[in-house]
Structure 1
Amino acid sequence: MKKLLFIALTFAILSCNKQEGSEGIKTAYVDTEKLMKEHQHAIDIENKYKVKSEEMGRELETEAKQFQADYESALRQAQAKGPQWAQQKAAELQEREQRLNMKQQSMYKEIQDASNEELDSLVKDIKLYIKDYGKKNNYDYVYGTGLTSPSILYAKDSYDITDELVKLLNEKYKPTEDTKTAEKEEVKK
């Protein structure tokens, strides 16, 4: 009786551990860092916000130069107009400098938030695309590697489908007028 129970238990354990042979599993991986560097949509997003950042930077630079000129002018006038005027002007300039710093921080946060939102949306779309690609091409697993999602420490290069996905995603991507304008701005420089 114990022997029969032992055989039944062994059979149950072995049947639970039955695994598909390695030749039956189809896997691949994507270098996510490379994908984001070479996917035209990601490049366009980066360029778009780089141009916006430079535009805002020029605006702030103009205000900063005006502030510097006003500061130097106040320094020259301080002795002639007396300590009370100098104190009042210093407080005025300090408040103006704080507003300028807050404006700079606000502008850069606005750009960063908008960029992150657009990139997050792109990453979601890419994940869905890879999922559909995996299903369509009968992959059991598609892994990600790179700095953003390191889930592979080693894989044969023959399993790398990054270049194929970059090509397909770039073929699928249609730039908008916004990104075309950003590209033209970038070329002008």
Structure 2
Amino acid sequence: MKKILIVLALALSFSCQQESKVGFVDNGELINGYQMKIDIEAKYEGINQSFTKRMDSLSQEFQKEVMQFQSKQQSMSQKELEEIYQMLGQKQQQLQQQYQVEQQELEKAFQTEIDTVISQVKDFVKQYGKDNKYKYILGSNEAGSVIYGEESSNITKVILEALNTKYESKK
């Protein structure tokens, strides 16, 4: 009878240990190491460089226009000067507005894609936890949600590899 109780206690103890499987991930490392995020950042770096070149070109064209005006202003009447000043002021304002609007659109599109990445990572970690019978997978970050964890409970690299493998297979 004692042996049966000991075996049952061990079995119960083992089953309780199985149910309380806990791991943690370093949120920053997971997100920053995700190839999809890296690809999105590279894509938007290229877009931003093109945008900057285009805006610089427009700005240079405007500066040339201003310089041409300045070289001719001596021979112009007061009325012509006022009209051109007004036209140049409006053009400068339009260029600034165009720059701001396009920059905001780029930032919004980038943030939308990054939000998608974060959502996909969260969903993947949830599914990984279910598939691998974790009771909890905690997220570690700068704010200290996991201040200490045994390295054996850190599953960041395992999840990151699985996440990147899944992403690469969809490309």
TM-score bin, normalised by smaller chain: 0.7 to 0.9
1:171 equivalent in structure 2: 165
Separation in structure 2 between the aligned mates of residue 82 and residue 154 of structure 1, nearest angstrom: 76
CA contact (8 A) 1:30 1:144 kept: yes
Counterpart check, 1:75 vs 2:70: yes
The alpha-carbon deviation at position 22 of structure 1 amounts to 7.4
Instruction: Please tell me the residue identity of whatever aligns with 1:32.
Output: N
Q: 1:103 is matched with which residue: 80, 98, 101?
A: 98
1:134 equivalent in structure 2: 129
Separation in structure 2 between the aligned mates of residue 47 and residue 63 of structure 1, nearest angstrom: 24
Give the TM-score taking structure 2 as reference length.
0.82
Separation in structure 1 between the aligned mates of residue 157 and residue 90 of structure 2, nearest angstrom: 53
Q: Which runs of 5+ in 2 are unaligned?
A: 1-14
The alpha-carbon deviation at position 30 of structure 1 amounts to 1.1
Query: Identity across aligned pairs (percent)?
Result: 25
Instruction: Please tell me the residue identity of whatever aligns with 1:174.
Output: E
Separation in structure 2 between the aligned mates of residue 150 and residue 126 of structure 1, nearest angstrom: 20
1:88 equivalent in structure 2: 83
Instruction: Please tell me the residue identity of whatever aligns with 1:154.
Output: Y
1:3 equivalent in structure 2: none
Q: 1:159 is matched with which residue: 144, 153, 158?
A: 153
The alpha-carbon deviation at position 174 of structure 1 amounts to 3.2
Deviation digits for residues 142-162 of structure 1, max 9, x if unmatched?
Answer: 111224x75223323222111
- RMSD of aligned C-alpha atoms? 2.3
Compare 39-48 and 149-158 and name the one that shifted more.
Answer: 149-158
Instruction: Please tell me the residue identity of whatever aligns with 2:31.
Output: M
Give the TM-score taking structure 1 as reference length.
0.75
2:4 equivalent in structure 1: none
**Taking structure 1 as reference, are residues 36 and 53 closer, same or farther at Cα in structure 2, changes over 3 Å only?**
same
Instruction: Please tell me the residue identity of whatever aligns with 2:164.
Output: N
Q: 1:120 is matched with which residue: 115, 118, 140?
A: 115
1:146 equivalent in structure 2: 141
How many residue pairs match? The answer is 157
Separation in structure 2 between the aligned mates of residue 135 and residue 120 of structure 1, nearest angstrom: 23
Runs of 4+ in 1 over 6 A off after TM superposition: 20-23
Instruction: Please tell me the residue identity of whatever aligns with 1:101.
Output: Q
The residue correspondences of 1:52-71 to structure 2 (distance < 5 A) are 52-71=47-66
Instruction: Please tell me the residue identity of whatever aligns with 1:102.
Output: Q
Separation in structure 2 between the aligned mates of residue 133 and residue 95 of structure 1, nearest angstrom: 56
